[in-house]
Structure 1
Amino acid sequence: MTQDAEVDALVRARIRGLRIAKGWSLDELAARCYLSPSTLSRIETGHRRIGLDQLTAIARALGASLDQLVETANDDVVIKPHHHPERGITTWMLSGDHEHAGLTVARVRVTRPASRRPEDLRVHPGRDWFTVLSGTVELVLGDRLVIVETGEAASFSTMTPHSFGARGGPAEVIAVLTPDGERTHVHS
């Protein structure tokens, strides 16, 4: 199968899958995108080429973007860790290319304590959120030291000078970061 044929089949499967997930019949989706049910059926089954105007109307009716309908599948199913031994962290990027409204979701394993040195405290626009999966995290917020235990979460303004690290052994968190937070904490 050629790449074009693979993308075509993927788009058709996504249209059908989204329609079924919404619980809509062919008639219901056809009415929402101003196509006849038979045209929509032939599009889904591959018996009719999809015109850009039809694809746009179908995407709009399904609440999807054209990009979502036509993007090729990412074959990276297994997420490999990125080790940063000099910083005492290992990261697993769980969301790719800011796919969640500009936010990045990452699993982070921290082995070093939080730094309280003023030159190590970071400031960037936005908010950071994390939940502790295991261990204990020290969160330095300006002059404050906040202890976040397993099962607890933290949310804070990143305009406050901050750092975080492990307390009493390694800790793992799931973090939700803005693009500035990702650059500061993951890629710095």
Structure 2
Amino acid sequence: MNQDTGLDALLTEVGPRLKRLRQQRRSTLAGLARATGISVSTLSRLESGRRKPSLELLLPIAQAHQVPLDELVGAPPVGDPRVRLEPRRVGELTVVPLSRQPGNLHAFKTVIPATRTTPDPQPHEGYEWFYVLSGRLRLVLADQDVIVQPGEAAEFDTRLPHWFGSTGDGPVEMLSIFGRQGGRMHLRTRPRDS
């Protein structure tokens, strides 16, 4: 990725980030306009991406929300390449984001409990690759039902109905990379014995 593409991706994420932050603070555009001296229409265009963010606009917004400017633009910490692991619960799963850069690809470590055994295949936009670290993962993908062992990987188009969980033998730990772009399905595991 060249530097311009990276900068464009960062700038594209600023508007949605500003809107999320304002909504999390339960602030209105009118309230933020009063606090910053920036017009409602300019704030609205910033949030929708129709106005390019500038330092003159972002500084008063950062002050009004009492957050560092880096948080508004999603700037990575300088000098320390380590990702701070912050696990979060997503339904039954424990998900640890392993990447923090804006863009199409996101990496995660996921822990699946042994109790997640009932398939509920769902499609969504994207493409996923995962690698099983420990445990035995059951993957239901369209009409396929496969077991993915530790050290094995799978990749597939998430527009196909899919579900993954434990075989019931114990928890599963996996690394995954999820991308928004579609792609052709490639399955690198063997079918589950009937």
Normalised to the residue count of structure 1, the TM-score between the two structures is 0.51
1:96-126 residue CA offsets vs partner (Å, 9 max, x unmatched): 2434xx111000000133433xxx3111233
Are the aligned partners of 2:139 and 2:148 in contact in 1 as well (CA < 8 Å)? yes
Query: How much identity, in percent, do the aligned residues show?
Result: 33
CA distance in 2, matches of 1:180, 1:169: 32
Letter in 2 for 1:142: A
Q: What is the CA–CA distance in structure 1 between the aligned matches of 2:135 and 2:126, rounded to whole Å? A: 26
Tell me the residue number matched to 2:88: 82
Gaps of 5+ in 1: 1-62, 182-188
Deviation for aligned residue 1:179: 4.0
Gaps of 5+ in 2: 11-69, 183-194
- State which of 111, 115, 119 in structure 1 corresponds to 2:118: 115
Tell me by how many angstroms 1:130 deviates: 0.3
Q: TM-score, normalised by structure 2?
A: 0.49
The equivalent residue for 2:106 is 104
1:157, distance to aligned residue in structure 2 (A): 2.0
Contact kept, 8 Å, 1:115 with 1:164, in 2: the verdict is: no
**In structure 1, what is the Cα distance between the partners aligned to 2:84 and 2:156?**
31
The question of whether the paired residues in 1 share the 8 Å contact of 2:83 and 2:99 is answered with no
Partners of 2:126 and 2:159 within 8 A in 1? yes
What is the correspondence of 1:104-183 to structure 2 with a 5 Å cutoff? Answer: 104-111=106-113, 112-116=115-119, 120-167=120-167, 168-179=169-180
- Partners of 2:118 and 2:158 lie apart in 1 by 16
SS across alignment from 2:3: coil
Amino acid at match of 2:88: H
Q: 1:98 to 1:166 in 2, by over 3 A?
A: farther
Q: Max radius of gyration: which structure? A: 1
Q: CA RMSD in A?
A: 2.9
Q: Is the 1:124–1:180 contact (alpha carbons within 8 Å) kept by the matching residues of 2?
A: no
Q: Aligned partners of 1:98, 1:138: CA distance in 2, in Å?
A: 30
1:67-93 Cα offsets, whole Å, 9 max, x none, are 38x945267842111124xx3210101
**CA displacement 1:39-79 (0-9 Å, x = unmatched):** xxxxxxxxxxxxxxxxxxxxxxxx533738x9452678421
| More helix, by proportion | 1
